[in-house]
Structure formats: structure tokens, C-alpha cells
Structure 1
């Protein structure tokens, strides 16, 4: 039986989810439309699309190739439950995950198992043959929050180029020791690595890396400060080292200014630093993507118990 082909170009009134455009084009039920995505019947601008929630814009070309006599059933979705990450966004090219604190992004020289890249690779392979996750950037083990991972080396390389040119938007929430005096500010310093692998701020040289961090105060409490941080560069331990150097280490930090980072109400093993916003241009479509992650329960609970001061 030859396949039926149907095409349309997205008009201004159709901007939004692609499954709505497909439903209007073929006149089938929601469940059958979802089945068409699951069976590879839909393409956007010539690229296969498996996600009915993908956004389309004016001028996008939608093509369907399907058997008009077949009832396409939605494939049963396998719920993925993992302690190391949750899925914040996913499409055919990439996945954005919300990493749990205490999880290594990639193995160190000690070749640890069950790192984030291991677990995401396992997730990508759970219903198909083995598929590798390609790391684009990292978060410190003690830090939670958003990371984008490519499903191919080509996609990962395109995203890495964006990070090299400082294009992605990366916002963090942190709770720091003491009262940060300035309502907003910028740390612009050079960092080096000691023999014990700790990072420290020093004079510029060919052995150092420039680190630029912007921040603004969200809330001052009795003896701590909630800050929002925007990374311009993304060096290892950058936020932790610069705030510690300023006398305001991140709560719970076991590495930098530990005499100040401990707090009687912060009893978690993790540190109070969370990557809450990640924005970048999609490497295939070029469309901007912005993902938000809610504050971890431990940080939210601490802030609820804090006595606020006038900002």
C-alpha cells in the first residue's frame, strides 16, 4: 500500500505545538496523532520529529508520510526513574537534565561508575540499541541543576562552540555565608590550580584562567545572603572560589573557606548552589531554548527559615 503524503506550511495562526498543526492537517484524534509521531510519520523542515510538543514558527514546512488505512497507536512510554537526574527537556538532538547534587558529570582518573554521562547513556539506550550521551559542559559534583547533553557528537560540538563564545545564558542560585554588601557586582579574576587540585585566585599569567562572574543580591538574612549568579565564563569551581575569596563562601562548601561555609541550619551534605536557568540556541533549528529548574528543597527550606533583612 503506497504511503499518503501531506504537507503544509505553518501560518501565523498556527504558531505553537506541531501536534496541533498535524491534527488540523489530517483530522485524526489526539491519540492517533501522537501515534504518528511515535512511528516516524512527521518531519519538520525535512528533519524527523518524534516530539509532538516541539514548537513551530511561521514558514516551517510540515510533512507527513503515513498509511491512511493504518490506525497509528501511541507507543507505551516507559517511565524513567533515576536518582542522578530528571529530564527537563528532550528532543531528537539533545537532552537537558537536572543533575542531582553528589553526582559526578563524568568520571575522573579513578574511573568512577554511575556518573551522569553513564546514566544518561543508559536512559538513551533503554528502548533501543546503545546510544552514547555526549557531554557539552559540566557541573561540580556538589552542585545541582541544568546541563545540556548532545545525542550525537555533531550536536555536542555545535553546543560546545556556543559555550566557547559565551553565548548560553547560565543563571545560578546560591546561599552564601555572611552579608554581601553590594546589591550587585562582578568578580573578574584569574584562577590557577594547586597541587591538591584546589583552585585559587592569583595574578594573571600564562598558567591562569580568567573567570568572570556577575551577581545580584536577592535576599539578605541574619547571617547569610541569597544571590543570583550569571556566569560569563565557566571555569571549574569558579563561583565557589570567587565568593570564598570575597569572604562569602557557598554554604556547605567542604573545600573553600570551610570555617565560614558551615552553618548550624545547613545540615545537608550538598552545597547551597544550584544551576537554575539554561538558555542556548538549538544547534539544528537555531531557535532559542530556555529551561528553568526550581530551587532544590534543601535550599528552599533554608530560605523559608531565614530572617530577612532590608535589601
Structure 2
């Protein structure tokens, strides 16, 4: 005999419920989104509200907004939903340091290509960030402002509109206030600081070099300061006055101290499987607000491990 089954009850749980429309708040005065939410959602804590932003639970005028400092204006509507949206595509070898409507600043790992040609299918910083911005807006794009070599790590930025790209590139020297690198170079650099100036040209095999003829090529100026040194390696702080292709790598070779692991430009040692070059600091005037933005990252540990003491 088969056992009788109880009559199923009608479902009244989550399967029958429509997604909650969420709580809405009208903006009556200018404010940043995080500050506005903390006031409206009290006693919710700052970490809870930040988590809601990160998980796409906050919309401004029906568009998901994740930026803490997004500027709100009177008349806008902020919606807070309980349900989390789908997760944004993960980033590989890349970390976002800052993002707003005009620019996106990231820290790139060594080994990740900044930008590839249209024919290449390799994962790049550019491709990942394009997918990132299109998660919120299918029509969004990013625009290249500058590049880092594949094996160079550190801070770099992209524009989020062609207008911002052109504005910053046309006035790059005025907008960029500081570009500082750290380089692990071969041998002991005896002069504690110095400036290297040369005219850079490119061979048919795409290798850069300093021309012996004045005014022959692109003028490049590099300033350096020794942070640490022993008989095997020196750790240099490098400031760029110009931003030419492979500028630091060529100039380090010129003074007889190639960047560690940089076989292309004369290095004889390979203390690690990457280039001994890191874009540590980027400071610039914001192209829209005019505010000074500064981003500083740590010196890579493999660089420091070549010395007994860390630089102060």
C-alpha cells in the first residue's frame, strides 16, 4: 500500500513574493551619497551602508550607484533595496583605488598588459575595466591616458569619456603633479641623486635608445634619488619630468645600472620573475573638480628583500 501524502499547502514564502520595491528618499539638498545614506538609514553603521553600496543595493534615479562620494542634487530619488544585485565581474591583477564619473585609478600587478591591440584576445587592464564600467551601464567606455609596461606594477589611470581623455592628454604636464616610481637597479649607485637627460629614439625592433645626437628624437628627463644600496643592488626613487616609452629602463642602462630582471636593457641578474620597476605615486588635478588627487602605494616586498633594512 502506498502511503497517503498530506495535501500541499499553498506557498506563501519567497517563491510567491515579488521583489520588494525598496525604500525611497527624496534629496532636498546637495550631499555625498554615503553621508546622505548614513543620515537616512540610522542606526545602520558605516560598514553596513558601504556593503550595501558595494552590492548594488543603492540606486539614484533608478541607476545603481556604488561610489561613496557620488554627488547628490535636490530633486533626485535614492532607492535602497534589500536584495543584492548580481556581482560585478571580478578583476584579475588589478585593484580599483578610485572611481568617479570622469576617471578611474587602479593599481596594476606586474604581468598584466595595460592595453592590447584590437586583434589580441589577451586579458588586459583595459578590457577588464571596460567590462567593469559596462556592468552598470552597457554603453559605458574607458579611454587610455597612459600605459605601464607589462612587467611594471603600480598606479595608473584611465578616463571615462573622450572629452576628459583629450583634456588631460592635451594638458598632461599641467594636470599631473607627481609621477614617482621605485626601481631596483643592478649595482651600487654611488651618486646619491642625479638627473639623466637624453633624446630617445626607437629601433626597427621596437627597442628604445638614447641618441648621441642632440635634438634627435624625443627629449626625456629622469630624476633619481638613492633610497638604499649595497654592492649588488640599489633602490631608487625616480621622478619623471617627461613620460617617454621605456624612459626609465633606457636611462638606467645609460648610467650603467640596468633595472633588475630587465634583460632587454642590459640586466645580467634576475632576482625575481618580474621587472624591478613600480609606479608608486600618482598625483593629479581632477579634470572636472580641480581637486588634487594623490595615490601612493607600497614598495613591493621583493624589492625590499634585497636589503637588510627597509627604507624609511
Specify if TM > 0.5. Answer: yes
Distance 1:231 1:62, change over 3 A: same
Following TM superposition, by how much is the alpha carbon of 1:40 offset from its aligned partner in structure 2, in angstroms?
A: 1.1
Residues 194 and 223 of structure 2 are in contact (CA less than 8 Å); yes or no, is this contact kept in structure 1?
yes
Residues 220-263 of structure 1: per-residue CA shift (max 9 Å, x gap): 1231000111111100000000011100000000210133xx14
Higher Rg of the two aligned structures: 2
1:306 aligns with 2:310: no
Distance 1:86 1:250, change over 3 A: same
1:146 to 150, 155, 158: 155
**Alignment-derived partner of residue 68 in structure 2:** 53
**Alignment-derived partner of residue 245 in structure 1:** 254
Residues 272 and 302 of structure 2 are in contact (CA less than 8 Å); yes or no, is this contact kept in structure 1?
no
Distance 1:32 1:306, change over 3 A: closer
2:272 to 255, 267, 270: 267
SS at match of 1:255: helix
Residues 20-67 of structure 1: per-residue CA shift (max 9 Å, x gap): 35644786745679669931159xxxxx994553298xxxx8536337
2:134 to 125, 131, 142: 125
Using the alignment, how far apart are the partners of 1:32 and 1:251 within structure 2? 45
Following TM superposition, by how much is the alpha carbon of 1:96 offset from its aligned partner in structure 2, in angstroms?
A: 0.8
Distance 1:168 1:235, change over 3 A: same
Using the alignment, how far apart are the partners of 2:216 and 2:121 within structure 1? 28
Structure 2: stretches of 5+ with no match in the other structure: 1-23
Q: Bigger CA drift: 188-197 or 77-86?
A: 77-86
1:291 aligns with 2:306: no
Residues 124 and 131 of structure 1 are in contact (CA less than 8 Å); yes or no, is this contact kept in structure 2?
yes
Correspondence list, 1:8-157, <5 A: 8=29, 19-20=34-35, 23-24=38-39, 29=44, 38-40=58-60, 50=65, 53-54=68-69, 63=74, 65-66=76-77, 72-73=81-82, 75-76=84-85, 78=87, 80-108=89-117, 111-157=120-166
- RMSD of equivalent CA atoms: 3.5
The number of aligned residues is 284
1:225 aligns with 2:234: yes
SS at match of 1:181: coil
Using the alignment, how far apart are the partners of 1:112 and 1:32 within structure 2? 38
Residues 32 and 71 of structure 1 are in contact (CA less than 8 Å); yes or no, is this contact kept in structure 2?
no
Using the alignment, how far apart are the partners of 2:188 and 2:255 within structure 1? 11
Residues 38 and 74 of structure 1 are in contact (CA less than 8 Å); yes or no, is this contact kept in structure 2?
no
Using the alignment, how far apart are the partners of 2:175 and 2:211 within structure 1? 23
Using the alignment, how far apart are the partners of 1:305 and 1:55 within structure 2? 43
Using the alignment, how far apart are the partners of 2:216 and 2:263 within structure 1? 25
SS at match of 2:166: helix
Residues 155-196 of structure 1: per-residue CA shift (max 9 Å, x gap): 222222342547331111110001111111111211111121
Structure 1: stretches of 5+ with no match in the other structure: 11-16, 43-47
Using the alignment, how far apart are the partners of 1:310 and 1:151 within structure 2? 36
Using the alignment, how far apart are the partners of 1:220 and 1:65 within structure 2? 57
